[in-house]
Amino acid sequence: MAGRKDYVNSKVSDNREQIEFHVKEILKLIGEDVEREGLLDTPARVTRMYEEIFAGYEVDPREVLGVTFDEQHEELVIVRDIVYYSQCEHHMAPFYGKAHIGYLPSGKIAGLSKLARLVEAVTRKLQVQERITSQIADILDEELAPHGVMVVVEGEHLCMCARGVKKPGSKTVTSAVRGEFRSSSALRSEFLALLKQ
C-alpha cells in the first residue's frame, strides 16, 4: 500500500496461466475476436490488475495497524476523505468512494497513515460496503480499545450506476458506531459536523 512495496495477491500470481486462459474464454463467449490487436494482451493485463485489486486477501487487516503508541490524548481523532476502491461481490463491478474514521482514544493511538492502510486492506477484495464499514469499526474497536469509534463510508457503485437501474451519481452512505458514539448523540454530531468542514 502507499509508501512502501504494494501487496499483491500471490494466488493470482500462482495461477496466472489459468486466469489468463479463462479471461480469454470469457472474451470469446461475449463475441470478441481475441486475436485482434487491442485484445492480444488483455488477459495478461486483467491478471496483473487482479494481483493488485485483490491484494486484500494477502493482508491481515489487524496487522496493518502495526505499532500503537501509548498517549494520554482522549479527544476525538478523525481521518477523513480516505479514498478507496473495491469490487462488488455480487457483480464483480467496481465501487469506490471515501471512508471517514473517528475514534476516541483511551490511552492508545495508531499512526494516522495506518488508518488509511486499514481501509485499503479491508477494501481490496470482493466486498459489500456495509461489511467494509463494520469491519473497519470492529478492528479499530478490538485493536485500540478506544472509548468509541465511528466510521462513515460513502460509495458510488458501478453495478447501480452503469447497469440495472442506471442511476449515475447516486451515492450510498453507511455508518458504524461503537462504544461512546452509540450512547452519545453529541459525539456523533461533533464527528459529522467535522466531516462537513
Q: What is the CATH number of the domain that holds 162?
A: 3.30.1130.10
**4 pLDDT more than 70:** no
Using one digit for the tens of pLDDT, what is the confidence trace for 152-197? 999 999 988 888 888 888 899 999 999 999 999 999 999 999 999 8
Q: Euclidean distance between the first and final Cα of the chain, in Å?
A: 28
Whether 181 and 87 share a structural domain: yes
Which position has the grid cell 489487524? 62
Q: What is the CATH number of the domain that holds 27?
A: 1.10.286.10
Question: What amino acid occupies position 5?
Answer: K
Q: How many domains does the chain have?
A: 2
- Active site includes 91? yes
For residue 193, give Cα distances in angstroms to 36, 78, 176, 189.
Answer: 53, 11, 16, 6
Q: Domain of 20?
A: 10-57
Using one digit for the tens of pLDDT, what is the confidence trace for 42-55? 999 999 999 999 99
Whether 33 and 79 share a structural domain: no
Asked whether residue 35 is assigned to any structural domain, the reply reads: yes
Whether 108 and 72 share a structural domain: yes
- Active site includes 159? yes
Whether 93 and 140 share a structural domain: yes
What residues are designated binding site for Zn(2+)?
88, 91, 159
The set of residues, in sequence order, having a beta carbon less than 8 Å from that of 41 and lying 6+ positions away, is: none
Which residue is catalytic, options 120, 143, 157, 180?
157
Using one digit for the tens of pLDDT, what is the confidence trace for 65-90? 888 888 888 899 999 999 999 999 99
Which residue is catalytic, options 17, 25, 89, 130?
89
